[in-house]
Amino acid sequence: MATETSVNYDRTKELKQFDDTKTGVKGLVDAGILNIPKIFVRPAEDLAADELNSSQKTIEVPIIDLSNIGESIRRKEIINEVKIASGEWGFFQVINHGIPLSVLDEMIEGIRSFNEQHLELKKEMYSRDSAKKVKFNSNFDLYTSKTADWRDTLQLTFLDSEPDPSQMPPVCRKSTMEYFKHMKRLGEALFELLSEALGLQPDHLNSIGCSKGCSIVTHYYPPCPQPKLTLGVRKHADPGILTVLLQNHMLGMGPTMWETHIFWHKCFAFLFLLVLSKANFLAY
């Protein structure tokens, strides 16, 4: 059983064995495992805490409607909503943001296709080299975290330049470039709103480089045979000033679930922005 302990258990060895497969948790699922490896099993005290908190109510995050943002009176209302949501919550959901649903759906489909393509194609991109702008792996902190999370990640980092399509996986290249184009516009618009919410000129945050340099981090959560023993993502704070989250409609770790985060890195603050195409909850 995955929860059994043994004086002979070598965690470092198991971590390396998992990492060396270069296939991530999807590889474990494809192999037909029934019990998850111990590296994914959370401490007993964490599992017990889950039982105590299982009856907590679902949190409904603030929703901000960006329609008619060009109208003076409506823009002031939106700025005030952003100010309140950022100050009291730290995150919010936006609707009527102008991004076609087809762009969001195709981005999600592209990430699904990448993760569900032949393993040998994914292995070619598997890396823990921090210098690589595009890489695939499972758990960036695999060797330092207390437990590993049940997810695989494709990360694209553009801190000093615009995205280079030739570096992206062919299976999701077109959809990612289109998604990035729309997200860049949305990011700039949101930084304007945040500037005004702070009492600054609309172009302030953009002018000091906040909208330059970002990462697209896509997570894929395949079905877990023992979902009560592990998590897809632990409680955490994202790096950077602004995070946009796009998530598919699946909940929990039964059905396959995937999501895309885009981070802007230039400044540091505790703000998370939520953009969902088919879901209405924050996965933190």
pLDDT at 248: 76
Full DSSP string of 153-187: EEEEEESSS---GGGS-GGGHHHHHHHHHHHHHHH
For the domain made up of 11-41+63-276, give the CATH fold: Jelly Rolls (2.60.120)
* Over residues 204-213, mean pLDDT: 89
Q: Are 271 and 242 in contact (CB under 8 A)?
A: yes
pTM of the shown model: 0.84
pLDDT at 212: 85
* Over residues 103-129, mean pLDDT: 94
Beta bridge partners of 94: 64
Residue whose C-alpha is closest to residue 232's, from 267, 265, 213, 258: 258
Q: Over 90: is that where the pLDDT of 64 sits? A: yes
Q: Over 70: is that where the pLDDT of 258 sits? A: no
Vertex 265: Cα angle to 74 and 147 (nearest 5): 115
Cα separation values, 205 from 80, 97, 198, 215, Å: 17, 20, 10, 18
Q: Which sequence spans correspond to the domains of the chain?
A: 11-41+63-276
Residue whose C-alpha is closest to residue 108's, from 282, 275, 283, 280: 275
DSSP 42: P
Q: Are 138 and 24 in contact (CB under 8 A)?
A: yes
Q: On the CB side of 176, how many CA atoms lie within 13 Å of its CA?
A: 31
pLDDT band, very low/low/confident/very high, at 261 (cuts 50, 70, 90): low
Interval 211-255: pLDDT, tens: 888 889 999 999 999 999 999 888 877 777 888 888 876 544 444
Rg, Å, the chain Cα set: 20
* Over residues 113-132, mean pLDDT: 95
Interval 144-168: pLDDT, tens: 999 999 999 999 998 777 889 999 9
Angle between helices 72-88 and 173-197 (to 10 degrees): 90
Interval 179-190: pLDDT, tens: 999 999 999 999
Name the more confident of 71 and 251. Answer: 71
Q: Over 90: is that where the pLDDT of 45 sits? A: no
Q: Are 241 and 267 in contact (CB under 8 A)?
A: yes
The gap from C-alpha 280 to its chain's centroid, in whole angstroms, comes to: 15
Q: Over 70: is that where the pLDDT of 81 sits? A: yes
pLDDT band, very low/low/confident/very high, at 5 (cuts 50, 70, 90): low
